[in-house]
Structure 1
Amino acid sequence: MIMSFPTTTRRYYLPQPGSFENLTIQEVPVSAPAAGEVLVKTHAVSLQFRDLLVAAGRYGSGCPPNLVPCSDMAGEIIAVGEGVKEWKTGDRICANFMVDKLHDGSPGNEALGGAVNGVLTEYRTFPAQALVAIPEHLSYDEASTLPCAALTAYNALLCGIEPLKAGDTILVQGTGGVSIFALQFAVASGATVIATSSSDEKLKIATKLGAKHVINYKTTPKWSEEVLRLTNGAGVDCVIEAIPIRKCNARSIHCLHQKRRKGGCYRLCWQCADVKPADIIIAAIGKQLSLRGIYVGSVVQFKNMNRLLSANPEKTKPVIDRVFEFNEAKAAYTHLKSQTHVGKVVIRF
């Protein structure tokens, strides 16, 4: 049944790439949801590094003109289209990052805020099958951090042929959204976490979240040697590399299993800059490593992750650095670009 709904929506769009300063608000009509769709009122959107790349015109092969940016949202269903049985008005939902990636075998071509218009809009229709229910204990602000950062970390650690297990030791690079969720999921899974950052203040937060060891890579330039010292020369079982502004170099791989211990997993999330594929492959062969490239995840993985969140509400509570209002979107982008944040930056509607 289709309920009454607003006839227009305010949204941000990029009339031309080059800078997030080009973000412009426009008002456009809202259409009724078609068969198999739902209409959603957005309550919160969280930003990610990809949004800076999109705004700058530096994301992949480019984006459609006049793109509505951002991919990570939490909202409320206000109307359902014909044939939709699994959702009703009033349901709290997140949309998956790729609306066509339902399971591991799905294509994943329609990424919000990149290949198709995103979620920095007051109202938007979505395919019903692309939505996931928000865990009851999370607010809209908190839930908006899940579609990319949380799901990327969950996929990296707990999916694939070599999932993290209790007793493993993991190295988490940085304190951005993916890294913080990776730290939390690892702690909830019973693993030991070593976290790095260039800021002692950020490392204090990582310690509060459960990191057993922390390393400032600016004051400890040979940080990979420190990782080996902390592990008594054995190295770590897994490295999560989710810092696109730093080199993914031999130091991370050097932290993995040493001497007679072989194996371990090097997991690359997002667009890590200056990757040298030949060096990584050679090191992987010599150390018998598993390499996994992570690009967010599927609706099925999202639902599985939410069960983990609900089972460990305290250990996995999303870390939000700062919340901005809808008309402060450019300020939110500025704060994200400053790299002074820990966790996620949210825009509240």
Structure 2
Amino acid sequence: MKAYQITGTDGLNSLQTVTLPEPKPSPGEVLLRVRAVCLNYRDYMNVMGIKGVSGPIPRIPCSDGAGEVVAVGEGVSAWKAGDRVVCPFMPTWLDGEYSQAHAAQALGGAVDGMLREFAVIRAESLLPVPAHLSIVEAATLPCAAVTAWDALHTRGALKAEETVLVLGSGGVSVFALQFAKLAGARVLATTSSDDKAQRLLALGADAVHNYKTDPAWDDWALAQTGKRGVDKVIEIGGAETLNRSLKATRFGGHIALIGVLTGTSAEIQTVQILRKGIRLDGIYVGSREMFAQMLAEIERVKLQPVIDSTFEFEDARAAFQRMESGQHFGKIVIRV
């Protein structure tokens, strides 16, 4: 089979196509014909080896993939050839608490990922693709969508009429906007361009702030809430944005710390967390059970993921370059 591997430390030049033996399912496993793979910023970091994020070499990158069952191993009765399925970010995290053991099975980092023609996955990990979604759309869900769901509903316990602040217009932020509006929340959003601002408004954002023209988006969020502060923040910036998120959050509010777009360490005003009684949660995707709950809601309302662009397998590097540009809105997908 054809696959991509990270073969060194020379950025995109290290992302090479290779030919590997086609895997075979063992008892309890399923052979999946991968049809679509979706990029996350984590995948870009792994390929580029930036900000301290890197893994073993060689490594097949990308956590997010969807496809069709080709064959099943002994003892598997839940799936048959032709079934459309999607795989969780951490196939071993079925339910319950997050653990180091689950993190050690994260696709595309700790173990080989989905940027290949075939993959063997535990049968109990897989989930069916909702009938209204294409395989390309389903591939956008395992990381960004489940992360947003965990942040808002599992850890966030979002209530109708609460105010959610989402930073940026990448995959997690756009899914968070969609999920928050479905729950009846008010959504404030930040972005880097007026064009993206219009697209966020079209998706349902109640107000949008361009942080390129006015970096003080924390003051803007406070003004939008009558100085009270927002109830929840989808914090994807990390080091250089967290202090502003702390300022923008109300007393007793919740921040879901998800991304490291601005770096992995900084001087943080911890006194704000203490004084305001803010709950700060590190969110590293979620379990299969969270994924299943999210899929049920997506199917109920026939939600459509927002896809920025789609690339062919042979043009995978161009997909990573699209992410590097920062111009994308929503998810970037590679057809396999």
TM-score interval, smaller chain: over 0.9
* Alpha carbons of structure 1 residues 255 and 59: separation in structure 2 relative to 1, 3 Å: closer
Question: Could you tell me which of 309, 327, 333 is aligned with 1:322?
Answer: 309
Note the residue ranges of structure 1 that are not aligned, 5 or more in a row: 1-8
> Which runs of structure 2 are paired with 1:1-349 in the superposition (5 Å)?
9-58=1-50, 62-105=54-97, 107-108=101-102, 109-160=104-155, 162-243=156-237, 247-257=240-250, 262-271=251-260, 273-274=262-263, 279-313=268-302, 316-349=303-336
The answer for unaligned runs of 5 or more in structure 2 is: none
CA distance in 1 between partners of 2:95 and 2:261 (Å): 25
**Range that drifts further, 70-79 or 53-62:** 53-62
Whichever residue aligns with residue 339 of structure 1, its letter is G
Q: 1:133-183: per-residue Cα shift (whole Å, max 9, x none)?
A: 1111111111100000101100010002x4111110000000000000001
The answer on whether the counterparts of 2:59 and 2:112 sit within 8 Å (CA) in structure 1 is yes
- Contact persistence 2:23–2:118 (CA under 8 A): no
Deviations 1:234-267 (A, max 9, x none): 21100111135x712321111111xxxx311011
Contact 2:51–2:264, Cα closer than 8 Å, also in 1: no
SS of 2:187 mapped into structure 1:
strand
Check 1:78–1:175 CA distance in 2 against 1; reply closer, same or farther (3 A cut): same
Aligned mates of 1:339, 1:74 — CA distance in 2: 25
Equivalenced residue count is 333
Identical-pair percentage: 42
Shift of 1:18: 2.8
CA distance in 1: counterparts of 2:7 and 2:266, whole angstroms: 36
Instruction: Give the match for residue 3 of structure 1.
Output: none
Q: Distance in 2 between matches of 1:163 and 1:280?
A: 25
| 1:50–1:59 CA contact under 8 A, matched in 2 | no
Deviation of 1:274 (Å)? 4.4
- The alpha carbon displacement at 1:60 in A equals 5.1
TM-score where L is the length of structure 2: 0.95
Contact (CA 8 Å) 1:195, 1:206: kept in 2 or not? yes
Q: Secondary structure at the match of 1:264?
A: strand
Distance 1:291 1:249 in 2: 10
Structural RMSD (CA):
1.6
Identify if the C-alpha distance between structure 1 residues 41 and 210 changes in structure 2 by more than 3 Å, giving closer, same or farther.
same
